[in-house]
Structures are given as C-alpha cells and as structure tokens.
Amino acid sequence: MSEQDNNGRNGKRPFSFHTDLSVFMPATEEEKAQQDIMRPSSTFWRDGFRNFRKNKLAFGSLILLIIIIFTILIVPMLIPYGYDEIIRIDGKRDKTLSNLKPMQWSERELEAKANGKEIFPHILGTDSLGRDYLVRTLYGTRISLFIGFFASIIVLIIGLLYGSISGFAGGKIDLLMMRIVDIIYSLPDMLLIILLSVVLREAIGDKIQGTFLSKLGTGMLSMFIVFGLLYWVGMARLVRGQILAIKENDYVLAARSVGASNARIIRKHILPNCISVIIISTALQIPSAIFTESFLSFLGLGVAMPMPSLGSLASDARGAIQSYPHKLLYPALMICLLVLTLNIIGDGLRDAFDPKLRK
Amino acid sequence: MWRYFVKRIALAIVTVFAVMAITFFAMNAIPGGPFDTEKASEPAVKAKLEERFNLDKPVGEQFVLYIGRLFQGDLGISMRNGREISLIIKQSFAISAKLGGISALVAISLGLTLGIIAARYRNKWPDRVIIFFTTLLQSVPSFVLATLLLLVFTTQLKLIVAWDANKVNYLLPVISLAMYPMAYITRLTKSSMLDVMNEDYIRTARAKGVPRLSVTYKHGLRNALLPVITYIGPMIAYILVGSMVVETVFTIGGLGQEFVNSVNNRDYSMIMGTTIFLSIIMVTMNLISDLVYKVVDPRIDFS
Amino acid sequence: MAEKILQVKDLQTSFFTDAGEVRAVNSISFDLEAGKVLGIVGESGSGKSVTAYSILQILSFPGKVIGGQILFHGKDLLTCSEREMQEIRGDKISIIFQDPMTSLNPVYSVGNQIVEAIRLHTDRRGKEARDRAIELLDLVGINDPERRIRQYPHELSGGMRQRVMIAMALACEPDILIADEPTTALDVTIQAQILELINELQRKLNMAVIMITHDLGIIADICDDIIVMYAGSVCERGSTDDIFYDSRHEYTKGLLASIPKREKSEELLTPIAGTPLDLLNMPAGCPFAPRCDACMKICLSERPPERLIGGQHYASCWINDLHELQKQQQELEAE
C-alpha cells in the first residue's frame, strides 16, 4: 500500500474505530437544524440601549446627572433661604453674615442660637452680600442647565426644519439654502454674541425692566437670539447630509421596489439613521451651550443680577481668591461636573448608536 | 482646484463684509452710537471725536465712510481715552499673538503626539490614561482652568504670578488656553489615525515590505492629518475668544483684556474696532486652513 | 516534480474579537510548486483571504496566526522576525488586492508608490528607479507611462489602477504573486484583460501565482491546481482536472452543480441550500454538514480527516470514508 502521507491509507485498517456503521446513516433534518444557531436579531433601538448600558462610564454619568438634577430641584426646597435673599436676623441686616466659610455661623446667628432659635446652617457659607452660597450655587446650576437645554432645543428645531427642507427639496433650492448656510457658518459666533449682548443691554435694557425678560438678562436674550440665528447651521448641514445620503441609498430603492410607501420608507429607513445622529449632536450641543453661557456670565454679559449663574459666581469670586477660595471652587467644579457628565453621556450615545461603529 | 480657491476667497470676503456691516449697524442701534460725542468721557476726547467724525450724515453714508476709513487702516479713536484704536490694537495684539501662538503650537504638537500614542497603544494603558485626561480637559472651559490655576498657585503655593515678558510666566496662561484644543486634537488625531490605519492602502504598504514606522508616518499620518487641518480655523477662534478671559484673569495687557475692558466701559468705538479686527483674523485663519487642506489632499471634493 | 516553494502545514489563524474567538483558518495544509498557478476558491468568509494574509503576516488587528507552519523555500515564515518578513514582502512574495481604488494611497502619486517598492528592495535610486517604474508601467500595458507616473490614483480608471497594483507587485520579480480577488471589483471586459495580463506575466517571469477567487470560471481558465475552502477548512484540493472531473467533496459538487450551463438553460438553477456558517459558533462536525444533502450522522459529530484520493488529490469528506468501508466490506466478502 502507498505510504505517501498519514492522511490516507496506511496499510492498516483505518476505520477500525468505526465499528458502528450506523453513524454513516443519513442525518435527519432535525439533527441538521440543531446545528443552525443564528444570533438573535434585535431592533436598532434595543441594540443601542443595550450598548449604552454596557458602557459603565456613560451609564454612570447618566445616573450622576439625574442625581444632580434631583438635587438642584429638591434641595433648595429644603433650605429656608432664597437665592436672592439677603439674610436677616430678627429682621435686621447682619454685617457679620458676609463671606462666611462653609458651616460657619455669624456672631449674631450664634447669639440667636444661644437664645434657642433654630438657624439652618450655611452649608457652603455666604457670599459678600450675605446670601446663602449653597442655594445660589444650586440655583446657578439650574439656570445653566435650563439655558443649555433650551438653547440646544432651539438649535435642534431650526436646524432640523431647515436641513430637512433643503435635503428633501434638492436642486436649486437646496443649493441656495446651503450657500446661505456657508456664509452664516463663517461668521464668528462668539464675537457676535458679545456684540449683540452689548447692544441689547443698551438698547432695550430699560424697556424690559420688571418683566420676566429682565430677570433673565439681556445677555441671555442675546445668547438665545444668536443661537437661533447662527448655531443651527451645523445641525442643518448634518440633517441635510443624512437625508441626501439616505435618499440615494440602495436600501431605500429596494424598499420602494417592493412597494413600500413613502411614509413607510421614511419611518423605517430614513428616521432611525437620522435620529441617532441628531440625538447625539443635540446631546453634545448642551455642554457646549453651557460653556458659552458661563463664559458670557463670566464676562458680565450673562444673566442679570441678582440671578446667579455659575459663570457669574465664578467671576465674582475672583477678587477674593486669596481669602475665600471656596467661593470660586464650588461653581467652577460644578461647571466642570455638568459639562463632563454631559460630554460622557454624549460620547456614550455616539458609541452606542452610531451605525458605523457597531460590530 | 483654482475654482475652489476663488470661491473660497470670495466667501471669506463676503463674510468679512457682512461682519463689518453687522457690527456697524449694531453699534449704531445703541442710543447714541459709537460716535456720540455725549458718551465721551472727557472734553478733550469729545473734541477729538467731533473733529474726526461727521455725525450729521445719514447712517448709510456713515457706513460707507467708515469702510473707507477702514481700508486706510483708520479704526477711529477710543471713546475712553481718545487714543488711536489701530495703535491700541497693534500694541496689545502683539502680546496676544505671542500668547495665542505659543498656545496653538503647544496644542497642536502635544495633541498630535498624544493622539498618535493613543492610537498606537489602543486599549492599553497609555490610551486609557490619555483618554481619561482628555475627557476631563474637554470639560473645563479656559476661564475655569485659568481661575483654578490662579487659585492653586496663589493660595496653595503662595506664588504671585506677575506678568512680564519673562518666558516662565507664560506657563499658566498658555496652559489655560491650550488644554481644551489639545484635548480635542488628541481625540481627533486618535480616531483619525485609527480610521486611516484600517484602510486598504495601509495594508498595501505593509504588503510591499514598508517598515512599520514608515507605514505609520509616511502613509498613515499624512492622511490622518486632514481632519486636524480643518480644525485649525476653529481652534484659532477658540484661542482668540479664550484669551479675553485668560488675559483678564492673569492681567496680561493683551487685546483680549482691552476688549473686555471696553465692554465694561462702554467704549463703543473700541468694541467696534476690535470686533472687526478679530473677525478678520478668524475668517482669514479659516480661509488659510481650508486652502491648506486642499493642497495637502489632492482629491477632488464633491461635497 | 518541480520544487515546492511554499508548503503550508496545519495553518490556524484566529481573530480575537470582543464577541469571542473567530477561527478563520482551521488547520489547513497545501503546497505550491514553483512556476505553477494555484487557485483558492470559496465563498465569502471561507478564509481564503485570511490565508493569504497569514502567509505574508499582514493580518489586521485582532487577527493572529496561532498554529502551523508556512515553509517558504524550506524556511518557516512564522518564525521570521518582522524585519525578515519586511524583506520578503514585496520582494520574494507579493500580493495584489481586490479593490484598487482603496488599495492605493490617495495622497501620493502612482509613480511615488511604485518607486517606493523599488527603493525598498533594490539598489536603484533616483533616475534609475524612476526608469524602472516607467518600464514596469509599460510591462503591465499602461500607455504613456512617463505622464502616468505623476498622476494620482483617483485620476486613473479602475482597470488602470489594478495594472498599477500589478506593476508595484512585480517590481522586484517575486517568486510568488498572490492575487486576492483581483478582478471582482472590475467591469467584466476589464476582468478578462487583467486576467490575461496576469497569465502572460506569470509565463514571462515564471512566477508561482496563488489566485484567490470565488469565480469558478477564472479557476478553470488559468489554474493548474485548486484548493476548495469552506468556513476556514480545506474541503478538497488537487489538480484542476481532479476537482472538475472527479470531485470528492459534497461542497465541491454543489459548487460545480450551481454553475448555470448554457446547454441546460431550461432547467432550474440548483443553489446550495442553507445559510453560511456563523464562525463564532462552529459546530462540532464537518462545517458543511448542515447544508449537505448527503449529510450523515457522523458528519454532524466528527470532523472528517483529510484523505488521499490519488496522486496529489485530497478530500475531507466522510463520503469517501464510507465508500472505502464499503469497498473493504466487499473485498472481505469476496474472500
């Protein structure tokens, strides 16, 4: 017998271990089907949320953010001081109340306590005018979050509308709309916000005194206006790009060729791809808006006194850095914390939902 | 290629013009406007203003005259102290440019280096450390960083960091300005490198026997740099705006601080002049980075 | 018999992904003789490209060769250092890829990329290298080579780009040229041209060629020997005649049966039933069993070993064992 290699016949009886010839019987369909294990399919959303949950950092940040939101909503209710309340003892202003360190009491407060009065501690001390700092910081956080969120919504709505119209319309309309976008895109946004704040402050500052708008301040107004005028272009481009790409895509063609209606195509194919990108972009817009707002407030162009903003608190604290470092530390850390958690959540959303990154 | 250049330059010119118009008319919307002699702080200034500006002409004509003066380099005079704005800008911008330039260089060089390292050692400890720090740094606005650094250095280390032309004292301001762009560039470079290194032509280069280092730098980096080049424009804008705060915090006498002061002092002619100047710089930087991109990437752009 | 310049023995390559280990190449063996054309045929995911990349060790993360030997002129490539491999790549063993658009660096000129290969492995520099590049472009049938050399990949057509790839690969007259689906991304008319070019160059330079493809037509045309792969394993290997006229594996038979034939144009097409394998969840027995019409119980539980059919013809299918058993039984009864 040939001994070419060990793979074939080697002179001995090679099948001696196969005495049971029944294994050579044909296999049944059931037996074959057992081998067919395919991975369970799931929808785009379920996959995405599962991915997000798996990302411990992003999920943790989400929890942290929820905790922060909870805190700033509930805690001020528990503290008996208002954010603009200059604290009085027995109806009289207390000069010694200013610039208390955390958990410190003023002389007059100590007196009152000795007399049996219950005084809520100033957990983060007080500011130079005798206002409780914790409440102001928490309120400032509320303002920052609100503004960040609201500004992002403005960007989302305008950008989405503009981009969709441009994308769906196509042709000359699309070309024109995008030219406008190009010009707006090149404008220096920050400078214009500052410019507009200055103008608004002078032009209408007196006229809106006493209304809700004056509480917000001309700085914030101008920020919203500029956001509405300028910042949506990024979103518009994104949306338009998505719509164009998907319109051309083969799977839309395929769906159409099997008779799917336009609505169905939009719902099942265009939307999931668009939405994830839009959500991610909006989520990352919020910390950027908070950045901008705190920057403006730091320059003195943000929310008007006495409404606190993390930026203005930080700015005010600058002068007293050596003596009262805590006044700078808390708002600064809060800004970082807010932006950090939002950034991580935004990144996590992108990692979880970006179809290109999915394995 | 040339068509693109022409279109791009035209866009830049239109933008600058738009900014000039917006600025001028916005300033004039303020009751009194930038040339109102009543707003001048001193009679001497008031006299100078009256001498320089024809305030009884209609706004449109004022605008044309203003543009005309701009082209001659005349930005008007400060309402606070009557000095030539162009002179103020020239002197203070020299300082800001130095600070900004160093910050930009630091951001780019560190950012590229860290990004390449992070991509190379993906998922190993260098990458994790780098990602950790860059995520942190991206969440700290320049003014927060500036004030925190000031806090740490003055209270804890008892060092008074006075500004002078001494190199050492650039340290804190540069750190405050450069950290955010550096973090951004790091992440951008890393993801760009990872994308590029997965491309087919990298595999071809390896298959030809190109040594590892060459593959990364000659073939990979050149392609990976492209997104970073597009970031340079926005980075300059960030640094210019950020310098406003950083200069204020560290009391550096640059253009940024001058601008903040003019905002607080309601020195409208100064605000106007500075805004236009800074806008021109930003638009020009954006233009340059777009043109450089086109030169580095010879592909036809079908966007 | 000609020299066996490449001998692959029990090669195993896996990808260590987050989802688990994917065994892309599962213990395959084959030989390549100098100056001959070997075809590797199989579906997408069968492991043919991974085999090629394993030979040159240009697997991308997270792939790793985890076992076996690759003997090139007797030396095991898997024991070579990165330095040694760099000297072999592009010089002794070259490879051309499927998609010439993405396989060429877009920011460098075509000439630059060819000259790079020349400078890496020869002593030619400057003008000499450039002249050689022009010579190569001419060899692969590109007209006006002096002008082309300065052009960028996106300025050339698909067919021309592939010719550039070939020029780059042949710059140093390698012993082996691996062609990984070189015509799949090209138009049909260009396909024929490129194949003809490869054929012609192979004869001219007396190179060994490994032609990887899923197109049986190409295989029949230019290959001397064939390997049929499925799910990372070699089903059958032998000369072209062996495979086409005496196939001994159910998968090979299925492949050949599924080719639409002009003479039988009224008959229904006969595809192979079932879906390709999920390499993350490999079944215990023969990888093809679930889709096999002749599947037996043993096929599901044990992998068939490779058996010699005759000459250089090997197959891994229990059917052959069954036939062998039946033959032995008959011989016994005849005694």
Q: What is the mean pLDDT of residues A64-72?
A: 86
Question: Of C308, C316, C318, which to mutate for an interface test with A (greatest number of A Cβ within 10 Å)?
Answer: C308
Within its chain, how far is the Cα of C32 from the centroid?
11
Evaluate whether C112 touches C151 at the Cβ level (below 8 Å): no
End-to-end CA distance of chain A: 52
Please give the single-letter amino acid code of residue A250.
D
Nearest to C120 among B203, B208, B223 (CB): B208
Ranges of H-type helices in chain A: 29-34, 44-54, 56-78, 107-114, 133-169, 171-186, 189-204, 212-216, 218-226, 232-248, 250-257, 262-265, 271-299, 310-317, 325-353
Q: What is the DSSP letter of C242?
A: H
Reference B5, options B280, B230, B288, B282; nearest CA is B288
DSSP assignment string, B179-217 = HHHHHHHHHHHHHHHHHHHTSHHHHHHHHHT--HHHIII
pLDDT tens digits, one per residue of B75-103: 777 766 767 788 888 888 988 998 999 99
Contact B241 A340 (CB under 8 A): no
Query: What number is the ipTM of this complex?
Result: 0.83
Q: Is C206 on the interface with A (CB under 8 A)?
A: no
What residue in B sits closest to C109 (Cα-Cα)?
Answer: B298
Strand-pair category, C37-41 with C225-230: parallel
Residues of A whose CB is below 8 A from B150: 318, 321
For residue B49, how many other CB atoms are within 10 A of its CB?
23
Q: Is C282 on the interface with A (CB under 8 A)?
A: no
Residues of C whose CB is below 8 A from A8: 307-309, 314
More confident residue, B174 or A107: B174
Bond into C182 cis (ω within 30) = no
End-to-end CA distance of chain B: 14
Superfamily of domain A50-84+133-357: MetI-like (1.10.3720.10)
Reference A344, options A284, A303, A274; nearest CA is A284
Specify the residue for token string 């060790």.
C57
Q: Is A336 on the interface with B (CB under 8 A)?
A: yes
Q: Is C217 on the interface with A (CB under 8 A)?
A: no
> Between A and B, how many residue pairs show a Cβ–Cβ distance under 8 A?
116
What sign does the dihedral C80-C81-C84-C90 (CA atoms) show?
positive
Contact C278 A22 (CB under 8 A): no
What residue in A sits closest to B12 (Cα-Cα)?
Answer: A186
Contact A24 C274 (CB under 8 A): no
| A40, A87, A191 from A78: Cα distances, Å | 50, 16, 41
Structure confidence at residue B1 as a pLDDT band (50, 70, 90): low
pLDDT value of position A163 = 84
Q: For residues C10 and C6, what is the distance between their CA atoms, to the nearest angstrom?
A: 13
Q: Which chains touch C (3 or more CB pairs under 8 A)?
A: A, B
DSSP assignment string, B80-99 = TT--BHHHHHHHHHHHHHHH
Evaluate whether C55 touches C93 at the Cβ level (below 8 Å): yes
Reference A180, options A201, A195, A197, A158; nearest CA is A158
pLDDT value of position A43 = 66
| A155, A167, A349, C30 from A170: Cα distances, Å | 22, 6, 30, 56
Nearest to A359 among C19, C309, C328 (CB): C19
CATH code for position B59: 1.10.3720.10
For residue B31, how many other CB atoms are within 10 A of its CB?
10
pLDDT value of position A356 = 54
Distance from CA of C117 to the nearest CA of A (A): 33
Q: For residues B104 and B240, what is the distance between their CA atoms, to the nearest angstrom?
A: 10
Reference C214, options C81, C80, C43; nearest CA is C43
Q: For residues A240 and A233, what is the distance between their CA atoms, to the nearest angstrom?
A: 10
Q: Is A18 on the interface with C (CB under 8 A)?
A: yes
Total structural domains in chain B?
A: 1
Nearest to A23 among C278, C298, C328 (CB): C298
What residue in A sits closest to C301 (Cα-Cα)?
Answer: A23
For residue A254, how many other CB atoms are within 10 A of its CB?
11
Q: For residues C95 and C93, what is the distance between their CA atoms, to the nearest angstrom?
A: 7
Question: Of A56, A195, A343, A350, which to mutate for an interface test with B (greatest number of B Cβ within 10 Å)?
Answer: A195
Q: For residues B227 and B230, what is the distance between their CA atoms, to the nearest angstrom?
A: 5
pLDDT tens digits, one per residue of B213-265: 888 888 888 888 888 888 888 899 889 988 888 888 888 888 888 888 888 87
For the CA atoms of C41, C47, C52, C56, what is the dihedral angle to 10 degrees?
Answer: -170
Of the ranges A49-53, A288-292, B228-232, C1-5, which is most confident?
A: B228-232
pLDDT value of position B256 = 87
Q: For residues B193 and B207, what is the distance between their CA atoms, to the nearest angstrom?
A: 19
| A212, A290, A359, B54, B274 from B70: Cα distances, Å | 40, 35, 57, 15, 12
> Between A and C, how many residue pairs show a Cβ–Cβ distance under 8 A?
72
Evaluate whether C68 touches C9 at the Cβ level (below 8 Å): yes
Distance from CA of B106 to the nearest CA of C (A): 27
Q: For residues A149 and A158, what is the distance between their CA atoms, to the nearest angstrom?
A: 14
Q: Is A50 on the interface with C (CB under 8 A)?
A: no
For the CA atoms of A27, A28, A30, A36, what is the dihedral angle to 10 degrees?
Answer: 40
More confident residue, C23 or A205: C23
Contact C278 A37 (CB under 8 A): yes
Residues of A whose CB is below 8 A from C274: 36
Evaluate whether A308 touches A283 at the Cβ level (below 8 Å): no
pLDDT value of position A9 = 39
Contact B151 A344 (CB under 8 A): no
Interface of B with C in 203-222 (CB under 8 A): 203-212, 219, 222
Q: For residues A270 and A244, what is the distance between their CA atoms, to the nearest angstrom?
A: 10
Please give the single-letter amino acid code of residue C317.
C
Q: For residues C229 and A25, what is the distance between their CA atoms, to the nearest angstrom?
A: 25
Collect contacts of B68-73 with beta carbons under 8 A, ≥24 apart.
B70/B20, B70/B276
What residue in A sits closest to C316 (Cα-Cα)?
Answer: A7
Residues of C whose CB is below 8 A from A32: 289-290, 295, 300
Distance from CA of B219 to the nearest CA of A (A): 23
More confident residue, B190 or A31: B190
Question: Of A175, A179, A182, A191, which to mutate for an interface test with B (greatest number of B Cβ within 10 Å)?
Answer: A191
Phi/psi at C315 (5° precision): -150, 150
Helix (H) or strand (E) holding C130: helix C126-139
**Burial class of residue C56 in the structure, from the number of CB atoms within 10 Å of its CB (0-12 exposed, 13-18 middle, 19+ buried):** buried
Reference C288, options C323, C255, C259, C243; nearest CA is C255
More confident residue, B11 or A21: B11
Please give the single-letter amino acid code of residue C304.
P
Contact C89 B300 (CB under 8 A): no
Distance from CA of B79 to the nearest CA of C (A): 53
C138-147 in b/e form (b: 16+ CB < 10 A) is ebbbbeebee
User: What tokens appear for A337 in the block?
Assistant: 């914390």
Residues of A whose CB is below 8 A from B279: 187-188, 191
Contact A26 C297 (CB under 8 A): yes
- Parts of chain A belonging to CATH 1.10.3720.10: 50-84+133-357
Q: For residues A235 and C109, what is the distance between their CA atoms, to the nearest angstrom?
A: 36
User: What tokens appear for C251 in the block?
Assistant: 């998968």
Interface of C with B in 33-72 (CB under 8 A): 56, 58, 60
A83-109 in b/e form (b: 16+ CB < 10 A) is beebbebeeeebeebbbbeeeebbebb
Written as tens digits, the pLDDT of chain C (335 aa) is 568 899 999 999 999 887 788 888 988 999 999 889 999 998 887 888 999 999 999 988 788 899 999 999 988 999 999 899 999 998 999 999 988 888 999 888 899 999 999 999 988 888 999 999 999 999 888 888 889 898 888 888 888 999 999 999 998 889 999 999 988 888 888 888 888 888 888 888 889 999 998 888 888 888 999 999 988 889 899 999 988 898 888 888 888 887 776 665 666 666 776 766 777 777 778 888 888 888 888 888 888 888 888 888 989 888 888 888 888 888 888 86
What residue in A sits closest to C305 (Cα-Cα)?
Answer: A7
DSSP assignment string, A267-308 = IIIIHHHHHHHHHHHHHHHHHHHHHHHHHHHHHT-SSPTTS-
For residue C73, how many other CB atoms are within 10 A of its CB?
14
End-to-end CA distance of chain C: 39
Structure confidence at residue A124 as a pLDDT band (50, 70, 90): confident
More confident residue, A325 or A9: A325
Please give the radius of gyration of chain B, using alpha carbons only, rounded to the nearest integer.
23
Q: Is A5 on the interface with C (CB under 8 A)?
A: yes
Angle at A331 between CA A325 and CA A337, to 5 degrees: 120
Report the SS3 class of residue B173: helix
Q: Which chains touch A (3 or more CB pairs under 8 A)?
A: B, C
Q: What is the DSSP letter of B167?
A: G
Q: Is C335 on the interface with A (CB under 8 A)?
A: no
For residue A321, how many other CB atoms are within 10 A of its CB?
17
Contact A196 B264 (CB under 8 A): no
pLDDT value of position A318 = 75
Q: Is B199 on the interface with C (CB under 8 A)?
A: yes
Question: Of A1, A24, A34, which to mutate for an interface test with C (greatest number of C Cβ within 10 Å)?
Answer: A24
| Boundaries of domain holding B277 | 1-303
Residues of A whose CB is below 8 A from B283: 186, 188
Contact A198 B30 (CB under 8 A): yes
What residue in C sits closest to B204 (Cα-Cα)?
Answer: C103
What residue in A sits closest to C286 (Cα-Cα)?
Answer: A35
Q: Is C131 on the interface with A (CB under 8 A)?
A: no
Whether B161 shows a pLDDT value over 60: the answer reads no
Residues of B whose CB is below 8 A from A347: 135
Q: For residues B287 and B285, what is the distance between their CA atoms, to the nearest angstrom?
A: 5
pLDDT tens digits, one per residue of B40-81: 566 666 666 665 665 556 667 777 777 777 777 777 777 667
Evaluate whether B147 touches A314 at the Cβ level (below 8 Å): yes
Evaluate whether B12 touches A186 at the Cβ level (below 8 Å): yes
Structure confidence at residue B302 as a pLDDT band (50, 70, 90): very low
pLDDT tens digits, one per residue of A218-268: 667 777 887 778 888 888 888 888 777 777 766 666 766 776 665 566 556
